Chain A
């Protein structure tokens, strides 16, 4: 698709964020959707496309009183919303619908109205991973990193430093869950979760949601907010089992998704003013920077250490504080997209001066899936 044909004309998060024990999952979707409709100056009657993950698009559409002509229930983990943006752009471009609402809501901490997922013992994971005692993402998503550390000489200090730099960004964001500065020693001294990962190298678990509204660029100028244009998109999947990654030191899904998005946008890495990399754990920004091609293999730990992704650096990254310090409901991709939109609208709490091109890169499962969206404040 030609860059800039589709625009985000509404974007908002839930009214509250963090610990929300009095709101169910479905209502978090609705709260985010209502805030986003208000942001765009629309009503549910104006929406004819619905995409969501975690909840069914049927439930979200019905609950909000929407009669869609297009739905997308792609659910590949926390990057699903990047894939929804990509699919929505194609659907709008081909005329399947005109105005798409993408919603996310998750009661990650309070578990209100949320089911418990259990892996069937006859599934591949149930047969070949679960019997060996992994206890969710902190022991699965983290499994590749010792291999990376040995192959590329990444130190525990440089891994810990990812969380330190992101906490600096969170300190500038009033909505962030954790805002107090931390040091590398604080991170390495925090409670061991799954060696080599300490508590402060792991994401938060919080409640919240967010939503986006997309439409064609021709219509976008009629909306109250400054449009944010979709310049390029990518998606891919690799494996449902982290133990079966082709190479533990690089994500095939990241590489494919990133390449597609950059090629479609027609941009070079130098053109990127602002970057969001889904950070469920401290190694994710390292893998993301390398697999998206911003730095060479094995260079990302030093790149972050040298403050290139910090405030004033040449590639500000995870400026909301990220999943490590801002919020992480479980499917964080929506919040990465929200921060990219805020930066390009020029309204982010930690605003990057004159940000014109932002990349939001997501992961799903444990390096299982990926989605990459290149956004711009102008049509190229």
Chain B
């Protein structure tokens, strides 16, 4: 069984269209310039509905994580694997996985620079994952 995949809603469709197009799309408030994630059609800081979608740099740092060790049958995951919170260069944080990197405390160093890669999981969904910065182009 593959990993569980998201089902976009009208408010998040642009994000998932973006990952399929190779872009990590965030939103910025036109009134207060706040950059935020997850998507919604208004600013969570000032409640303005004047918000714009833009492509983020894809740069991030490793903010925190755990390494899951228990058996995870039929989940699409092979333990041990890390579940990570990354902090995007633009400010917001998101949950993700770190790929192209041993899933060990020695290799996963907090604040290490990361860059986004997009993993095609279905025709509809490409998940944003992160790898150590400076990796080869996919």
Contacts and interface: CB of A to CB of B under 8 A. Distances in A.
Given A133-B83, A139-B83, A248-B64, A127 B69 contact: no
Instruction: Say which size band chain A's interface belongs to.
Output: 35 or more
Contacts of A152: none
A248 B63 contact: yes
A250 interface: no
- Among B68, B76, B97, the one with the most A-chain Cβ atoms within 10 Å of its Cβ is B68
A140 B68 CA distance: 10
Contact of A243 (B75, B95, B105): B95
Contacts of A195: 66-67, 69, 80, 105
Contact of B66 (A124, A131, A142, A150): A142
A194 B63 contact: no
A379 to B, nearest CB: 43
Interface in A33-91: none
- Among A129, A133, A139, the one with the most B-chain Cβ atoms within 10 Å of its Cβ is A133
Contacts, number: 113
Contacts of A191: 69
Contacts of B69: 191-195
A316 to B, nearest CB: 30
B102 interface: no
Interface in B17-33: none
A122 interface: yes
Contact of A130 (B4, B12, B66, B105): B4
B70 A193 contact: yes
Nearest to A249: B64
Contact of A128 (B38, B72, B121): B38
A131 B3 contact: yes
B63 A135 contact: no
Given A121-B5, A126-B6, A195-B69, A147 B95 contact: no
Contacts of B54: none
B65 interface: yes
- Among A191, A196, A244, the one with the most B-chain Cβ atoms within 10 Å of its Cβ is A244
B108 to A, nearest CB: 9
Nearest to B86: A243
Interface string A97-133: 0000000000000000000000011101011111111
B110 interface: yes
B8 A127 contact: yes
A147 B94 CA distance: 14
A224 interface: no
Nearest to A198: B69
B136 interface: no
B34 interface: no
A358 to B, nearest CB: 33
Contacts of B14: none
B6 A147 contact: no
Nearest to B71: A135
A241 interface: yes
A143 interface: yes
B4 A144 contact: no
Interface of B: 3-9, 12, 38, 63-70, 72, 75-77, 80-81, 83-85, 93-97, 105, 110-111, 121, 125, 127
Given A120-B7, A134-B68, A194-B83, 8 more contacts: A127-B9, A128-B94, A130-B6, A132-B83, A134-B83, A135-B70, A143-B65, A192-B67
